[in-house]
Structure 1
């Protein structure tokens, strides 16, 4: 059985390969080619943290992610995880690998899939609300999908430092960041709305990956009312996302758009919203990609 720490995962996992792997996993999820139950959630007594168990079988890969989410962590990541892979034919354990980086990268890769499917082809400006690991990972992934000429970032604490590090514009406010943007990423730790509907221009596409609890929100009611809503999995999003619960409807799963059973963008002025809650098939497909890269690297040249 192999054990891979975060350094090993980082060496083996590449964003340009991860994006099509996430597309395949989402197609399988919506077409019946994958099996995953709703994640089980344990509230950690007295700590304000959460412990999730996320098993899945997808494309011949079997495994589970064990992940903690401590939203109030300071100076240490809010998410930590392990992913376990098993041989589907026999149930034998094959690998245990660090899942923190996989969670970070697959979230952005799925947003990249959504952006390819839903954003206007002529999208050239990107706004990011948040300046943590998801902001960095989304900047990398979305630049592989659209040739952004302008990138703005806003965060109440670290926006200017992020902008200096990545050579983008530091916005003075969330409104300043998103006004006129073609694509918006909302990746915050906020439990109340940070994106207002009155700021959105016709034709914008939004990826939102924060607010992972039923009573948390990243978008206000006006924003939700103006958007056509896409998710990874209807049941998971309807139970876990405060934004989806408030919206009251889901237009389609991304996998349905990939397989062609539901439409993506239908008009240049459509406002499209992809709300990600993160699902187990993404983690297991990502871990399978890492494992195959490890085995290929071990083959004699």
Structure 2
């Protein structure tokens, strides 16, 4: 039987946020209990830049696969999923939609686990596809009572807010200053490619949860100095991947894996005034889990 092939239109049509979040949550728990095998990403240098691979095996589900993406041409990403017993290639997903939606689902699981209970006032810095996927997924796990978004280009933030109101029916407003997007928020998501901090640490008030998606090396980081020291817990989806960065900005040894918090094996938020920080690095194998869920959703 030929594998099913999915493109971006299929992902948008078939993959709802609840399905993506559930698939990622199961994968994070499987990683904690040792049934998701997820080594750090590897790179093949091709001259103009590297081709990156992440691979994972979901032992309990009998599935394995990989994701491949380039870091020099902006080409389509590729995810392939095999069934282990027969060795059958089940699904191939290509395009630009699955990766960000997988990352959005990881962020939603972290927000649900680490943010204060109840409806959330959410602040976003960044108005690209990663910020959109975070909002899409987070709306599936929490009521978002008030949402602010800031981007370097105000027109992009305004367009993002208008789209979110129209497509997601969410109360999003664009603000011209980054500080206004993150002050007095219950949760903040940084979704930029900036090599320098996009906020100041003292803009983050007590009780805020912060998710960071962008660069996290010592010479390139969107997070400000001092924020991790203010956090009661620094979470990540993969300590192994965090440690694989060349000169990481955050100390991997001080991080708590999100899967351990989900399983009740490690503490997360301990009180309403805690600042919590989630460093999203892209646990390998989660894209295989989401691609498999996409495959199953088509029946």
Fold in common (TM above 0.5) = yes
TM-score, L = length of structure 2 = 0.89
SS in 2 for 1:280: coil
Structure 1 stretches of 4+ with a deviation exceeding 6 A read none
Q: How do 1:188-207 residues align onto structure 2 when only pairs under 5 Å count?
A: 188-207=192-211
Number of residue pairs the alignment of both structures matches:
286
Instruction: Measure, in 2, the Cα distance between the counterparts of 1:286 and 1:267.
Output: 32
Which residue in 2 is equivalent to 1:284? 288
- Equivalent residue, structure 1, for 2:101: 105
Aligned match for 2:242, one of 237, 248, 266 = 237
Counterpart secondary structure, 1:265: coil
Alignment equivalent of 2:214, drawn from 190, 210, 217: 210
**Deviation for aligned residue 1:126:** 0.5
In the other structure, the counterpart of 1:258 is 262
- In the other structure, the counterpart of 1:176 is 180
Contact 2:217 2:249 (C-alpha < 8 Å) held by counterparts: no
**Secondary structure at 1:121 match in 2:** coil
Rounded to whole Å, the distance in 2 between the matches of 1:179 and 1:247 is 26
What is the SS of the residue equivalent to 1:245? coil
Which residue is 2:57 aligned to?
Answer: 57
TM-score (norm 1): 0.88
Paired position in structure 2 for 1:13: 15
Structure 1 CA distance, aligned partners of 2:218 and 2:200? 19
| Paired residues for 1:287-298 under 5 Å | 287-294=291-298, 296=299
Unaligned runs of 5+ in 1: 297-301
The question of whether the paired residues in 2 share the 8 Å contact of 1:53 and 1:64 is answered with: yes
- Give 1:32 shift: 0.4
Is the 2:30–2:36 Cα contact (8 Å) retained in structure 1? Answer: yes
Answer with 211-220 or 275-284: which moved more: 211-220
Cα distance in structure 2, aligned partners of 1:203 and 1:195? 17
Conserved in 2, the CA contact under 8 Å of 1:6 and 1:100? yes
CA–CA distance in structure 2, aligned partners of residues 124 and 35 of structure 1: 34
Q: Specify whether residues 289 and 264 from structure 1 end up closer, same or farther in structure 2 by C-alpha distance, changes over 3 A only.
A: same
In structure 2, relative to structure 1, the CA distance for the partners of 1:247 and 1:174 (3 Å cut) is farther
Structure 1's 29 and 170: CA in aligned 2 closer, same or farther, altered over 3 A?
A: same
Change (3 A) 1:93 1:166: closer
1:124 aligns with 2:135: no
* Distance change >3 Å, CA 30–CA 184, structure 1 → 2: same
**SS, match of residue 265 in structure 2:** coil
Question: How far has the Cα of 1:162 moved from its partner?
Answer: 1.6
User: How do 1:11-50 residues align onto structure 2 when only pairs under 5 Å count?
Assistant: 11-46=13-48, 49-50=49-50
Whole-angstrom distance in 1 between the partners of 2:13 and 2:140 = 19
Is 2:119–2:145's contact at 8 Å kept on the other side of the alignment? no
Gaps of 5+ in 2: 166-171
Q: Secondary structure at the match of 1:193?
A: coil
Which segment is superposed worse, 250-259 or 1-10?
A: 1-10
State whether structure 2 residue 166 is matched by structure 1 residue 161: no
Distance of aligned partners of 1:159 and 1:222 in 2 relative to their CA distance in 1, 3 Å threshold: same
- Post-superposition Cα deviations, 1:101-143, rounded to whole Å, max 9, x if no partner, equal 1111111111110111100013521000000011111112112
- Aligned partners of 1:241 and 1:108: how far apart in 2? 24
Contact 1:194 1:220 in 2 (8 A): yes
